[in-house]
Chain A
């Protein structure tokens, strides 16, 4: 039973355009969400997080949106750069869902020059 799902295994966008990566979750106990970026042969790198008391969090080119009623979050990257090409994982945690992170399966983003 996958509690965190990323339904798009891959996404290709043009440099300078917006990249939108999506994530859905099923466990209503989750109330903290994170995005990690992963390059080959490296560990996941933390990008941005959001608490369920917010619906938006911004950090530079990265914005995460949370729709709690739909159990859906998305990561927007604007503008996309070739160096953003990587696998992106969304993850979730909750005080009553254990402190561990539950990860989605990842979306491979390719930004074309």
Chain B
């Protein structure tokens, strides 16, 4: 158990819908990262937040957005869902925002878009 929690574990929805994925980092960690794992793309970085502020952005679609709240939990919002958005979404956290800070991953949310 990494100490990072993610809810829900599974999510099934229809095209065009909007969903929110939630992540609680390990106690004391200030950075939260979101990654997408799809069959053809592997694990891809989406976005990083540090202490409530956006820190880095990867290949995140405009239909996707995220935020980190004052209690440091984070939410990833996916809208106008398409079939290709079906994937595993992982959240990770680290103590600080440095590139050598070990990232600890949550168990993931499996999103299925029908």
Contact = CB atoms under 8 A, between A and B. Distances in A.
B24 interface: no
Contact of B99 (A32, A41, A105): A32
Given A101-B45, A102-B45, A106-B42, A45 B2 contact: yes
B107 A34 contact: no
Nearest to B105: A43
B108 interface: yes
A98 interface: yes
B90 A44 contact: yes
B4 interface: yes
Contacts of A69: none
Most A CB within 10 A of own CB, among B43, B44, B55, B92: B43
Interface string B72-114: 0000000000000000001010000111111111111000000
Interface of B: 2, 4, 6, 33, 35, 42-45, 48, 55-56, 58, 90, 92, 97-108
27 contacts: A32-B99, A32-B100, A34-B102, A41-B107, A43-B2, A43-B4, A43-B105, A45-B105, A46-B103, A46-B104, A89-B43, A91-B43, A95-B99, A98-B45, A98-B58, A99-B48, A99-B55, A99-B56, A99-B97, A99-B98, A100-B33, A100-B45, A101-B35, A101-B43, A103-B42, A103-B43, A104-B42
Q: Which 6 A-B pairs have the closest CB atoms?
A: A43-B105, A100-B45, A103-B43, A93-B99, A99-B99, A44-B105
Interface of A: 32, 34, 36, 41-46, 49, 51, 89, 91, 93-95, 97-106
